[in-house]
Amino acid sequence: MPGGRVNMHWFLKLRRCLSASSAILAAIGLASCASLPNDPAARAEVERLNDPIEPINREVYAANKEMRQVLLPLQMIASAGSPVAPLAAAVHNVLVNLREPLTFANDLAQGKECAAGASLRRFMVNSTLGVGGIFDVAKDYGVAAHDNDIGQTLGVWGIPAGPYLMLPVLGPSDVRGAAGTAAEYVVDPVSLGLSRAGWTAAVWPIAGLDALDRSLEAAPDLDKLDRTSLDGYAALRSAYRQNQTEALNDDKCPDVLRIGGEGIPATRSN
């Protein structure tokens, strides 16, 4: 069956991707022992890129690109105008709401009190008025969601980013970000709460849905970057580092909560 061949092809790509991920740490170790070029210009370029396992990263990038093609039908189903688009939006909103406690913790750890206040408000408002996060009521009043993770917290604390990594499924990262992603599965307040309540079986399905939701959300931008670039891999690496720099310097404070602006709701959308 054609569908069976597609599924097996996807499985082989996934297996290759996961095998590459297991080689990443070993490759980093080897790269740390590798000598840099003697030529000053070449040496400066290698240090600037900080991508010692680029061949492996490019393999993972290619596999991730093919996985996005497999997910294209889901992306089309979830797009605006689809009959199931409202359901897809509701699932997305719930997943974003479940991220808020961890975002709140990272905001506090980074000393960003206004951002922490925004995360807390979003979680409280959307969990109640938004019916468990199905509706993003807080966004209608100017308090939109913002991303903040343990990798960014480590960056604020002065931990170096380390070499660039392309993670299977999850996409661009670095050693600091990968360590932060791994830590999130251990310290996420929602996961801890579910486990304490005896609902441990729900933790991994939620994590899988969250990874799928992030992939679907990022897919259009990644495809556009790949189409408009001579080297999609290099363009994504550059964009990732630029976004990381901006994220570390962003106070993530909504305008409606800034000094002099608190209590002034945004125009409610229909």
Give me the pLDDT at residue 14, please: 42
Instruction: Give the residue-averaged pLDDT of 87-100.
Output: 96
Give me the pLDDT at residue 7, please: 44
What the block records as the tokens of 134 is 């199905």
Whether residue 52 is predicted with pLDDT greater than 70 in this model: the reply is yes
From the CB of residue 242, how many other CB atoms can be counted at a distance below 10 Å?
A: 10
DSSP conformation class of 232: H
Instruction: Give the residue-averaged pLDDT of 6-29.
Output: 45
Give me the pLDDT at residue 242, please: 95
Give me the pLDDT at residue 158, please: 95
From the CB of residue 169, how many other CB atoms can be counted at a distance below 10 Å?
A: 18
Give me the pLDDT at residue 23, please: 45
Share above pLDDT 70 across residues of the chain, in percent, rounded to a whole number: 79
Whose CA is closest to 148, among 253, 220, 221, 259? 253
Give me the pLDDT at residue 268, please: 41
Share above pLDDT 90 across residues of the chain, in percent, rounded to a whole number: 63
Give me the pLDDT at residue 6, please: 38
Which residues lie closer than 8 Å to 262 by C-beta, 6 or more apart?
256
Mean pLDDT over all residues of the chain? 83
Length of the chain: 270
Report which secondary-structure segment, H or E, holds 174: strand 171-174
Give me the pLDDT at residue 104, please: 97
CA–CA separation, 160 vs 163, rounded Å?
9
Is the distance from CB of 67 to CB of 10 less than 8 angstroms?
Answer: yes
From the CB of residue 258, how many other CB atoms can be counted at a distance below 10 Å?
A: 12
Q: How do residues 202-241 score in pLDDT, each as one tens digit?
A: 999 999 999 999 998 999 999 999 999 999 999 999 999 9
Long-range contacts of 238-242 (CB under 8 A, 24+ apart): 240/164, 240/172, 240/173, 241/164
